[in-house]
């Protein structure tokens, strides 16, 4: 299973209906032709992803959105102008060109334009947009390097396009217009902070919990290592679990556990987000019996980090 930087090879495989791992600024995605149901099915098979969980479709231009979206709600143009390309996914009413497998039967489609230069170059070389969830087994920690993909999906896909470590490190923010509420709704915290989005379209409504996801990234248990994750005050948690080998995920402090992952000694929340998933992978591969994580400052990408840690800690 080759890892490489050959965009033309990746494009050729995608035209043949294969699923290929690609870099984005958020995490690595497992991509296939969004208009080809047989190709999209290979994503679900490789990830062992349930068909009720919709996918995000990636585009390289505003013109491609017209193939996917039947209409644009008020504010959508302003959001695209401000935040695209970048880690913001917008849920829009879908056209008939989008297969139901991509949207899990919903009448909406999640769309974004990545800012990663290799992803944009690949998308521009293709005649179709790419459906692409994270390139990892369903529910597990998202990959932020090509090697992470190879470690878990290497035998199941023909090529991994290596674009280096992901610059953001957590998935995109997802928002959508609610026709019933006539407000924009936040479905997932992510790489674009809530505050600048609200400066463009006003206050965001927080999505209600639903037994079936109405957007990608809404499942309660997700982004999880194999070991238990517990969130709280690290000092108290270490006392409560004295005698166990613990791994600790913290913002700036080393707590002297058996394994410590300090995400940013300088206190940079963006750096912490970049390091989060790689840290969880290292702790999962260690001899720690459980993983303890502190609550991060809530502004900006801190909200996305806390969201991922909460989902990683949810009972499965």
Mean pLDDT computed over 132-155: 94
Q: Given this model, what pLDDT does residue 297 score?
A: 93
CB atoms within 10 A of CB 115: 18
Would you state the structure tokens that stand for residue 186, as one six-digit string?
Answer: 């936040």
Q: Percentage of the chain surpassing pLDDT 90?
A: 85
Q: Given this model, what pLDDT does residue 138 score?
A: 86
Q: Given this model, what pLDDT does residue 266 score?
A: 97
Mean pLDDT computed over 153-168: 96
Residues 240-257: tens digit of each pLDDT: 999 999 999 999 999 999
Q: What is the per-residue DSSP string for 196-232? A: HHHHHH-PPEEPPP-SS-SSTT--SS-SB-SS-EEES
Element (H, E) at 13: helix 7-15
Give the largest Cα separation in the chain, rounded. Answer: 59
**pLDDT band, residue 218 (cuts 50/70/90):** low
Q: Given this model, what pLDDT does residue 247 score?
A: 98
Q: Given this model, what pLDDT does residue 127 score?
A: 97
The answer to whether the beta carbons of residues 212 and 50 sit under 8 Å apart is no
CB atoms within 10 A of CB 313: 19
d(CA 116, CA 164): 10
Paired with 250 in beta bridges are: 262
Q: Is the pLDDT of residue 12 over 90?
A: yes
Q: Given this model, what pLDDT does residue 167 score?
A: 97
The pair phi, psi for residue 217, each rounded to 5°, is 75, 20
Q: What is the pTM of this model?
A: 0.91
**pLDDT band, residue 222 (cuts 50/70/90):** confident
Q: Is the pLDDT of residue 316 over 60?
A: no
Residues contacting residue 126 through CB under 8 Å, at least 6 positions apart = 11, 14, 15, 33
Would you state the structure tokens that stand for residue 192, as one six-digit string?
Answer: 């674009």
d(CA 105, CA 275): 35
- Which domains does the chain possess? 3-206 (3.90.870.10), 229-313 (3.40.50.11030)
Q: Is the pLDDT of residue 217 over 80?
A: no
Helix (H, G, I), strand (E, B) or coil at 274: helix
Q: Given this model, what pLDDT does residue 49 score?
A: 79
Mean pLDDT computed over 268-283: 95
Mean pLDDT computed over 69-90: 97
d(CA 7, CA 2): 13
DSSP state, residue 143 = P
CB atoms within 10 A of CB 229: 23
Q: What angle do CA 292, 175, 274 make, to 5 degrees?
A: 40
The answer to whether the beta carbons of residues 194 and 178 sit under 8 Å apart is no
Residues 37-69: tens digit of each pLDDT: 999 999 999 998 777 789 999 999 999 999 999
Would you state the structure tokens that stand for residue 34, as one six-digit string?
Answer: 């969004």
Single out the residue of 149, 143, 195, 151 nearest to residue 170, CA to CA.
143
Q: Given this model, what pLDDT does residue 208 score?
A: 80
Q: What is the mean pLDDT of the chain?
A: 93
């Amino acid at each position: 299973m080759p890892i490489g930087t050959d965009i033309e090879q990746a494009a050729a495989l995608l035209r043949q209906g294969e699923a290929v791992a690609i870099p984005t600024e958020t995490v690595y995605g497992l991509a296939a032709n969004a208009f080809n149901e047989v190709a999209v099915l290979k994503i679900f098979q490789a990830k062992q992803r349930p068909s009720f969980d919709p996918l995000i479709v990636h585009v390289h231009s505003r013109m491609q959105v017209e193939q996917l979206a039947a209409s644009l709600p008020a504010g959508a143009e302003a959001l695209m102008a401000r935040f695209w390309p970048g880690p913001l996914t917008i849920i829009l009413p879908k056209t008939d060109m989008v297969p139901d497998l991509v949207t899990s039967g919903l009448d909406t489609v999640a769309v974004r334009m990545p800012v990663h230069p290799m992803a944009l170059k690949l998308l521009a070389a293709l005649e179709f947009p790419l459906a692409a969830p994270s390139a990892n087994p369903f529910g597990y920690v998202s990959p932020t390097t090509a090697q992470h993909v190879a470690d878990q999906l290497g035998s199941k896909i023909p090529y991994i396009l290596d674009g280096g470590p992901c610059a953001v490190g957590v998935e995109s923010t997802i928002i959508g217009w609610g026709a019933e509420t006539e407000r924009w709704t936040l479905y997932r915290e992510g790489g674009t902070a809530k505050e600048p989005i609200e400066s463009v379209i006003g206050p965001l409504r927080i999505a209600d919990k639903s037994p079936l996801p109405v957007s990608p990234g809404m499942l309660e248990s997700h982004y999880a290592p194999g070991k238990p994750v517990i969130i709280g005050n690290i000092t108290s948690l270490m006392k409560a679990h004295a005698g166990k080998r613990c791994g600790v995920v913290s913002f700036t402090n080393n707590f002297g556990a058996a394994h410590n992952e300090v995400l940013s000694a300088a206190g940079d929340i963006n750096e912490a987000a970049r390091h989060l998933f790689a840290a969880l992978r290292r702790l999962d591969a260690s001899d720690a019996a459980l993983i303890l994580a502190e609550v991060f400052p809530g502004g900006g990408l801190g909200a996305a980090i806390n969201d991922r840690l909460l989902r990683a800690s949810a009972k499965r």
